Structure 1
Amino acid sequence: MPLQVTNVQQREHVFVSALPGLEPAVEAEAKALGFSPQKVEGGVELTGAPGLHQEANLRLRTASRVLLRLGRFSAPDVGALEKGLAGLSLGRVWDGRTAPRLSVALHRARFKGPDTVMAAAARAWRLASVERAGVLDEESFEGLTLLVRVEGDTCTVSADTSGEPLHRRGYRQEVSRAPLRETLAAGILVLAGYDGVEPLVDPMCGSGTFLIEGAWMSQRRAPGLQRTFAFERFPGFDATAWRARQARAGTETLPAPRSALRGYDINAGSLGTARRNARRAGVTLTLERQDVRTLVPPAGLGPGLVVVNPPYGKRVGEAEDLPGLYRALGATFRRAFSGWRAAVLVPEDTGLIRALGLPEGRSLPVRNGGLRCRLLLCSLPSPQGA
């Protein structure tokens, strides 16, 4: 395969990564934003005009990271790998002064290990050495991070344009127990069909992530307005064009959510954390201290979406107490939210799922903090005769 280098001046090719199970959410969100996504393993691919990687970072609330494709070439051996790396056009993303880090993924490659790729890159770019990147979703780096993926004989090289993982919106400086990533919360709302207009209730709201993400969705607020990105350090970065892009997104933001948002929790400290996080996010939440077992939602609210991330036992609480809590949660859903839709993130524990006693619906595999989970989506029956 001959060397193929993306002509970033005419078209951009972008890979948007997602948490496992959220690929359909990223695809749906990208379509709603006017992109033309192609769902692939681990995320979606986008093609568009220059600045696409900036737009994706700014607006996609379910994405984990945005990678700008730099080139793809045949690498059946180390010599071809080195030649292909040397032929890449890196001037837009790398100034040549500070060595980039490399994140390496090998799948059925014909040469041994990441160290081989690191050494080939150092020779190709005439560097003394190249540092290997750690886990990108757990750290950030002030310099350039390049991702080198070799699958069979094909090598694909991309630049990380996000920097800090995209779930770090900037508002959540505090968390309660068992925090939920902002991208996962947004993805669950998308998969549950939240429209930004219907009421949204979280009966165990913790630090308020579901509600804040729902408020921003309701306001049509771009999730990246409060943070910085790795692409702002690229040599070819146009600060004026970026500010104009941010300004356009800012003018689309509605002054207040269009939906009623309510949060409940038995822990007063969690409610305080949720209030402070919401204040940093620029939204006002209606929060109340109530036990999920006896919860009474405001009269006249609904129907809408009730969403919850209950304890799993591996994170908070004692496992032996969970079946009773899940039975109580299911009973509250049936009693207080009849006629609503429900979205519940639960561990892959059939006993706990049975304890909820929810109506049959969809069950989607997702991961939360590395744990295998199920997202249960269903409609709660209305009272007979209603």
Structure 2
Amino acid sequence: MPLQVTNVQQREHVFVSALPGLEPALESEAGVLGFSPRRVEGGVELTGAPGLHQEANLRLRTASRVLLRLGRFSAPDAGALAKGLAGLPLSSVWDGRTAPKLSVALHRARFKGPDAVLAAAARAWGLSSVERAGVLDEESSEGLTLLVRLEGDTCTVSADTSGEPLHRRGYRQEVSRAPLRETLAASILVLAGYDGVEPLVDPMCGSGTFLVEGAWMSRRWAPGLERAFAFERFPGFDAADWGARKARAEAESLPAPRSALRGYDINAGALGTARRNARRAGVTLTLERQDVRTLAAPAGLGPGLVVVNPPYGKRVGEAEDLPGLYRALGATFRRAFTGWRAAVLVPEDTGLIRALGLPEERNLPVRNGGLRCRLLLCTVR
């Protein structure tokens, strides 16, 4: 196919990635924000005016990373690949001095590994060599990272605009023993239909991630307001325009959450971590030391959403104790939260799911830190 490039001055094409299984949450959130998403494997595609990649990084709380599409072309061999790479419009993202790093993905391509792609890129850009990037979900580079995806004979090239993975909001400088990614917590709240107004309760809150993310949703606080992004180092970056975008987002936020937020945990240290994380996030949480086995219904709160990420027996707690804990958790739900909606992230273990004893109205496969899990969504009765 002929070289097709994105003219970033006229129209932007963006791919936004999500954690595995959470594409529906990202699609839903992006649609509510007016991005007109198209769901694809691994995330959503967006098209819009210049600056779209900045808005996506700034506002999407369920996204993992934002990639700006630079071009797509046919690359049946190394020569065609080098020619296509040489024709890409890189001036807006690369200053031509520091060599970009490449993240390479090969799917049924004719190349025998990433080294051939790196060599073709070096020839295309007149460099002595090009370094391969690490795993982007875990790492960030000081310079430009380009993603080269070869699927059959088709090559798609994108620029990473996020830098640090988007779950790193900046507020969570301390974590509990089994931390939950901020993007996963936000996705679960979206899938559970949390509206930012109804009460939100976490009976095993740990470092408070569900509650802080819920508070930000309730405040309409954009998750990227207090962190830096890779696109701020692009040669075409307009600091004044970016400042205006951030100012608009901040002006749309509310001074305090509209929702009552309650968190409980038996571990006093975890509650201290949650309080400090919330303080850094600019929110105040109501937190109490309580055992989930004896937890009473929150006084004065009508039905809302109760959300929990209980131990899995792999990182915290002993596996032999889990069935009893899950039975107690289910009993507390039925005793204290009848009529509430529930979202429970559990390991992919049918015995533990049965021990909960909750109706499985929706049972979605997700991953938490590489572990296969199920997200149970139901109304407690």
Answering whether residue 34 of structure 2 is matched by residue 25 of structure 1, we say: no
In structure 1, C-alpha distance between the alignment counterparts of 2:57 and 2:302, rounded to whole Å: 33
C-alpha displacement at 1:89, in angstroms?
1.1
C-alpha displacement at 1:140, in angstroms?
1.3
Letter in 2 for 1:91: S
Could you tell me which residue of structure 2 aligns to residue 346 of structure 1?
Answer: 346
Structure 2 regions of 5+ residues with no counterpart? none
Letter in 2 for 1:343: A
Could you tell me which residue of structure 1 aligns to residue 301 of structure 2?
Answer: 301
Could you tell me which residue of structure 2 aligns to residue 360 of structure 1?
Answer: 360
C-alpha displacement at 1:298, in angstroms?
2.4
Letter in 1 for 2:232: E
- Aligned 1:165-180 pairs, distance under 5 A: 165-180=165-180
In structure 1, C-alpha distance between the alignment counterparts of 2:298 and 2:67, rounded to whole Å: 44
- Aligned 1:23-102 pairs, distance under 5 A: 23-102=23-102
Could you tell me which residue of structure 2 aligns to residue 129 of structure 1?
Answer: 129
Letter in 1 for 2:325: L
Letter in 1 for 2:262: R
Answering whether residue 114 of structure 2 is matched by residue 117 of structure 1, we say: no
In structure 2, C-alpha distance between the alignment counterparts of 1:134 and 1:141, rounded to whole Å: 9
In structure 2, C-alpha distance between the alignment counterparts of 1:305 and 1:176, rounded to whole Å: 22
What's the % identity of the aligned pairs? 90
In structure 2, C-alpha distance between the alignment counterparts of 1:28 and 1:298, rounded to whole Å: 30
- Aligned 1:169-318 pairs, distance under 5 A: 169-318=169-318
Letter in 1 for 2:343: A
Letter in 1 for 2:276: R
C-alpha displacement at 1:278, in angstroms?
0.1
Letter in 2 for 1:54: Q
Secondary structure of 1:136's counterpart equals coil
C-alpha displacement at 1:297, in angstroms?
3.1
* Root-mean-square deviation (Å): 0.5
In structure 2, C-alpha distance between the alignment counterparts of 1:209 and 1:136, rounded to whole Å: 22
TM-score normalised per structure 2: 0.99
Secondary structure of 2:82's counterpart equals helix
Letter in 2 for 1:374: R
Q: After superposition, give the CA deviation of every residue in 1:117-152 in whole Å (9 maximum; x if it has no partner).
A: 000001100111111011111111110000000001
Secondary structure of 2:330's counterpart equals helix
In structure 2, C-alpha distance between the alignment counterparts of 1:145 and 1:290, rounded to whole Å: 46
Could you tell me which residue of structure 2 aligns to residue 158 of structure 1?
Answer: 158
In structure 1, C-alpha distance between the alignment counterparts of 2:237 and 2:158, rounded to whole Å: 17
Could you tell me which residue of structure 2 aligns to residue 140 of structure 1?
Answer: 140
List, as ranges, runs of 4+ consecutive aligned residues in structure 1 with deviation greater than 6 Å.
Answer: none
In structure 2, C-alpha distance between the alignment counterparts of 1:302 and 1:332, rounded to whole Å: 16
In structure 1, C-alpha distance between the alignment counterparts of 2:201 and 2:324, rounded to whole Å: 22
Secondary structure of 1:367's counterpart equals strand
C-alpha displacement at 1:243, in angstroms?
0.2
Secondary structure of 1:296's counterpart equals coil
TM-score normalised per structure 1: 0.98
C-alpha displacement at 1:244, in angstroms?
0.3
In structure 1, C-alpha distance between the alignment counterparts of 2:186 and 2:278, rounded to whole Å: 15
Structure 1 regions of 5+ residues with no counterpart? 382-386
Secondary structure of 2:365's counterpart equals strand
Answering whether residue 106 of structure 2 is matched by residue 106 of structure 1, we say: yes
Q: After superposition, give the CA deviation of every residue in 1:152-182 in whole Å (9 maximum; x if it has no partner).
A: 1100000000000000000000001100000
In structure 2, C-alpha distance between the alignment counterparts of 1:138 and 1:157, rounded to whole Å: 20
Secondary structure of 1:278's counterpart equals helix
- Aligned 1:325-336 pairs, distance under 5 A: 325-336=325-336
Could you tell me which residue of structure 2 aligns to residue 384 of structure 1?
Answer: none
In structure 2, C-alpha distance between the alignment counterparts of 1:258 and 1:265, rounded to whole Å: 23
C-alpha displacement at 1:360, in angstroms?
2.8
